Amino acid sequence: MILSFAVNQAVNAGSSVWLAAWSDHSGDVLSSSNETAAAANDTLSDALDNDYYLGVLGGFGVSQAAASFFRNWFFFWVCANGSVSIHDSLFRSVIRATMRFFDVTPTGSVINRFSGDLHVVDLPLPRILSAFFFNMMEILSALILISISSPVFLVAVGPLAAVYILILRSSTTNVI
């Protein structure tokens, strides 16, 4: 499941890198054409090769749409199977309960327990987990891309992570 989020983020990052490469290529072509002012307009459009870059960027867009679709489909399929599993387990427990359980527990409480637990598993939990995994992949992608483009950034990550962990530990121990 996490792999589907990673693939989606990799395609997203790839399109950003491709757009940056296209921009760098266009800047190089335009700066070299300014040096040779005699370049014809046809030669400049051939040198820019926008159709090639636009086609690859379109391919990234289609890939990103497909990856997002399959990521969401797979994620909610896993969540639905989890909900069915929890329902079946809860149902088996209730069916195997002794008559004393049904004598002391009102039927409404049993039904509320089923509906309340399954509501949480079916609605808010998948949204929260999806947002968590999506944001986690966004952060990891940003850290990886920044580290590749500026390796000096890695020098600051270690101390900042250590300070963050210290602050997190001190704040959680004070709360509890």
Task: Tell me the per-residue pLDDT of 62-92, one tens digit each, with 9 for 90 and over.
Answer: 999 999 999 999 988 998 898 889 889 888 9
Q: What is the percentage of the chain residues whose pLDDT exceeds 90?
A: 16
Q: Indicate the average pLDDT of the chain.
A: 83
Q: Where are the domains of the chain?
A: 2-175
Alpha helices in 36-152 (DSSP H): 41-48, 50-95, 99-104, 107-122, 124-149
**Rounded distance, CA 169 to CA 69, Å?**
38
Quick check: helix, strand or coil at residue 97?
A: coil
Per residue in 117-133, pLDDT tens? 788 888 888 889 889 99
Q: Identify whether the C-beta of residue 12 lies closer than 8 Å to the C-beta of residue 141.
A: yes
pLDDT at 11 over 80: yes
Q: How many CB atoms lie within 10 A of CB 158?
A: 9
Residues in the chain: 176
Looking at residue 36, the DSSP 8-state letter turns out to be S
d(CA 26, CA 48): 6
- Global pTM reads 0.66
CB 11 within 8 A of CB 64: yes
Residues 138/9, Cβ–Cβ less than 8 Å: yes
The stretch 23-47 carries a mean pLDDT of 62
pLDDT at 4: 87
Query: CATH for 2-175, among 2.60.40.10, 3.40.190.10, 3.90.650.10, 1.20.1560.10?
Result: 1.20.1560.10
Q: pLDDT grade, residue 135 (50/70/90)?
A: very high
